[in-house]
Structure 1
Amino acid sequence: MSTDSLSRARLAALTARELATFADRHAGSRAAYANATHLFGRVPMTWMNKAAGNFPIYLDSARGNRITDVDGNEFVDFALGDTGAMAGHSPEPVVAAVTARLRNGLATMMPTEDAAVAGAELARRFGLPAWSFALTATDANRWAIRLLRAITGRSKILVNSYCYHGSVDESLIVVGPDGRGVSREGNVGAPVDVTMTSRVAEFNDLAGLERELAYGDVAAVLMEPALTNIGIVLPEDGYLAGVRELTRRYGTYLINDETHTFSAGPGGATAYWGLEPDVVTIGKAIGGGVPVGAYGLSAELAGTLSGRDDLDLVDMGGVGGTLAGNPVSMAATRATLGEVLTEAAFAGMIETATAFADGLVKIIEGYGLPWSVSRLGARVEYRFASPAPRNGTESARGADAELEDFLHVYLANRGVLLTPFHNMALMCPQTTLADVARHHEIFDAALKELV
């Protein structure tokens, strides 16, 4: 039974029932949303309007993998702040480190020893020796791009179609129907036509990548080792090795954005798959919920940059921010890496995610649905396509907003949250097999009603 053969009338009726239940159980959230008239879109950030229940759930408190909303409803949280809380909500070592720092200076424009410890741990995990800090992974990507443009003298950045690297202008390009790059639909206020700054190739397409690199104007390939934000798309055998060989052949640097693929293990996909990027960018999870981003450079790249006295890396050269590397974010990063997202924690998270994926496959097969399940370490996603999509364009085509919203609101009404942008579940150190079983019980009940 495909999604095309689902009864859309039944889906609509079930969704209407669930939306009514959601409205009844979240009167406080509904009122808070209605009263937020001085917020653009009624939310702090407009993406918070991506809510299956037609308005967002308002937070009261969060601990571990549990969230309580302003109406007193408790949820098992598999969204985990879209990776920002992969360490769990308010982990004690991070709370203690940040609390101590809050009493002793927040923004001083001075380094702390915490930053050096955090940098050394990132170097150990990802294999790149020189690290610098930002407030977001978006900024880390932007700064890395500027550095590599400066070194190569090349203007363009190559990304994968339907990639996600935050709000980086250069990443908002997709492969069009004729195979050429076009601006991604909905691109807001692009400073220039994105084809002037970027090239694009499908994930898992080495021929397409080589075709674009052959123009000789690409400073860097910016990519996730596995696509995540359009749904998990895993690399095929030999693909990542092929990317590295082609980038070296054409004199192009390689940036691995590990912000989401950090779920693969303690050293992200870079360590898990033995990759050799020139730059690693990362954010979200490494701060345990406190805003932070970082980028790591190879020894060769760091040495080259250090020798370029024509580049203003200190003042107004376009690389930096006054609050980047602040004492609070550095204390949080040191505590998260040193005491929370440890190798032992990852082992448990991945074991739980494996059980989550295995259970999903069993349920989906039981209903004869041609869907698929993909797992990247501690991250799992179910897709309305089989086999699983092999690139971003296929993944985008496989989306079904009506079905996704039904499943999300059905789960939320029964105390389980998924990442609102897609059917992704992330494990944190506190996620248990009982939590997995709870999701599966509700997911099975939803399919039973729908099918």
Structure 2
Amino acid sequence: MSTDSGIDRARLRTLAERERATFADRHPRSRAAYGKADHLFGRVPMTWMNKTSAGFPIYLDKAWGNRIVDVDGNEFVDLCLGDTGAMAGHSPEPVVAAVTERIKGGLATMLPTEDAAVAGAELAARFGLPAWSFALTATDANRWAIRLLRAVTGRSKILVNSYCYHGSVDESLIVVGPDGNGQSREGNVGAPVDVTRTSRVAEFNDLVGLERELANGDVAAVLMEPALTNIGIVLPEDGYLAGVRELTRKYGTYLINDETHTFSAGPGGATAAWGLKPDVVTIGKAIGGGVPVGAYGLSAELAEALTGRGDLDLVDMGGVGGTLAGNPVSMAATRATLQEVLTEAAFAHMIETASAFADGIQKIIEGYGLPWSVSRLGARVEYRFANPAPRNGTESAASADGELEDFLHVYLANRGVLLTPFHNMALMCPTTSAADVARHHEIFDRALAELL
């Protein structure tokens, strides 16, 4: 047995080949659709969709709650939930009703609606920042926030954590290299400039490294997730986030909390759950119930400083807007999602369900004596092929096991359960049940029994 993830590699490859063959047999229409998509770049609407453990993606027929049915008629318990985009569940009734009604009265008007003010007030109450603006994605929200903070500070650089995730923001594609200095993240596509010219980087949970970088005096903002997610869940150690806030204030640097994934921590994300005090919050995906939307919230001090600057073009070509941002449909969806779907009661259920999910996985792992661990962030859970769990992004990247991840994903999919494709992450929505958790655990246990 290999010491790598505690798994016999030869047996893993044999089982994975069997599972991929089974997948192909059960998804002929998906395979055919993928094969004839000649006029799509990468054969998919967006190249991310090629992240699949089985050689081709599942094609969607319909989805509701935490269920998906593909074009071959296979039904799945969905624990991916659109990689957070459907954390409210697929097509929640209040969102469908709000969007359906709104569509009848105009889609793209470049005029505000009252829904936007309601959604902004809801976000302000949840995250503690009073002034909100809307985008179509969290990537855009991050880009616009970065521009605003460069403007008010006169500083050029943005600091991020190694192996963070902030969408396709150019400044975020930097990691800590073997020599401890920043370098471009592997696979960075067509970077406009060397990322070390625009960015600084520090490991998550490393206050010494953070202070070393901030001491250069050229960092406009620290853009961070309160817990790393897309490289695998990495939770903050005691005192770390308080230390980040203290150091950013010491060096005159603004702090942006990207809550797009960490929103799973509760109704006000990690910001409210952990009592954080950022200058800016960015968020997207889940707040629209599946309809494209992003948002950023500003402190009162920051909003006043920006609106008082007559030299900044905030209403035309200054770089912080888009024609479809704040459109009536996304605003109706956001209002309905926040007021009627992702409520405090819903989060309480989701977090309780995730806690049961984590406890059950931990018990199974311990039963097989595997050197793995389980991390939970509110309604989000991940099993990691390392114990103890990684404490920063570089460690988390090193603990990945692509072969094992792919096997587990296709094994689960063949038995009706979907995980987030990039890692072993499961997200709960308001309709995820104890029975769904038990179903995953039964299949997961069977997979390990065959491997070991």
Which range, TM-score by smaller chain? over 0.9
Do the aligned residues in 1 keep the contact of 2:384 with 2:424 (CA within 8 Å)?
yes
Q: CA offset at residue 345 of structure 1? A: 0.2
Q: Deviations over 1:405-450 (max 9, x none)?
A: 0000000000000000100000000000000000000000000000
> For 2:55 and 2:278, how far apart are their aligned partners in 1?
42
Partner of 1:402: 403
Q: CA offset at residue 218 of structure 1? A: 0.1
SS at 2:355 equivalent? helix
User: 1:279 aligned to 2:280?
Assistant: yes
CA-based RMSD: 0.6
> For 1:336 and 1:5, how far apart are their aligned partners in 2?
42
The correspondence of residues 49-448 of structure 1 with structure 2, limited to 5 A, is: 49-448=50-449
Q: CA offset at residue 220 of structure 1? A: 0.1
> For 1:225 and 1:65, how far apart are their aligned partners in 2?
26
SS at 1:237 equivalent? coil
Partner of 1:15: 16
Q: Deviations over 1:159-205 (max 9, x none)?
A: 00000000000000000000000000000000000000000000000
SS at 2:48 equivalent? helix
**CA shift in 2, pair 1:361/1:313, >3 Å:** same
Q: What is the letter of the counterpart of residue 249 of structure 1?
A: K
Q: CA offset at residue 4 of structure 1? A: 4.8
SS at 2:426 equivalent? strand
Q: Deviations over 1:360-385 (max 9, x none)?
A: 00000000001000000000000000
Partner of 1:48: 49
Q: Deviations over 1:88-108 (max 9, x none)?
A: 000000000000011110000
Runs of 4+ in 1 over 4 A off after TM superposition: none
> For 2:282 and 2:176, how far apart are their aligned partners in 1?
24
> For 1:319 and 1:417, how far apart are their aligned partners in 2?
36
Q: CA offset at residue 3 of structure 1? A: 3.2
Q: Deviations over 1:26-56 (max 9, x none)?
A: 0000000001000000000011000011100
Do the aligned residues in 1 keep the contact of 2:6 with 2:370 (CA within 8 Å)?
no
Do the aligned residues in 1 keep the contact of 2:65 with 2:92 (CA within 8 Å)?
yes
User: 1:28 aligned to 2:29?
Assistant: yes
SS at 2:394 equivalent? helix
TM-score, length of structure 1 as denominator length: 1.00
Q: What is the letter of the counterpart of residue 368 of structure 1?
A: G
> For 1:416 and 1:109, how far apart are their aligned partners in 2?
41
TM-score, length of structure 2 as denominator length: 0.99
**CA shift in 2, pair 1:393/1:412, >3 Å:** same
Q: What is the letter of the counterpart of residue 238 of structure 2?
A: D
The correspondence of residues 1-12 of structure 1 with structure 2, limited to 5 A, is: 2-12=3-13
SS at 2:105 equivalent? coil
Q: What is the letter of the counterpart of residue 157 of structure 1?
A: I
> For 2:438 and 2:148, how far apart are their aligned partners in 1?
47
> For 1:401 and 1:282, how far apart are their aligned partners in 2?
29
Q: Deviations over 1:123-180 (max 9, x none)?
A: 0000000000000000000000000000000000000000000000000000000000
% same residue: 87
SS at 1:282 equivalent? strand
Q: What is the letter of the counterpart of residue 336 of structure 2?
A: A
Do the aligned residues in 1 keep the contact of 2:127 with 2:269 (CA within 8 Å)?
yes
> For 1:265 and 1:124, how far apart are their aligned partners in 2?
13
| Structure 1 spans left out of the alignment, 5+ residues | none
**CA shift in 2, pair 1:4/1:341, >3 Å:** closer
SS at 2:19 equivalent? helix
Count residues with an aligned counterpart: 451
Do the aligned residues in 1 keep the contact of 2:74 with 2:416 (CA within 8 Å)?
yes
> For 1:4 and 1:33, how far apart are their aligned partners in 2?
33
> For 1:28 and 1:387, how far apart are their aligned partners in 2?
42
Do the aligned residues in 1 keep the contact of 2:95 with 2:337 (CA within 8 Å)?
yes
Q: What is the letter of the counterpart of residue 445 of structure 2?
A: D
> For 1:101 and 1:161, how far apart are their aligned partners in 2?
41
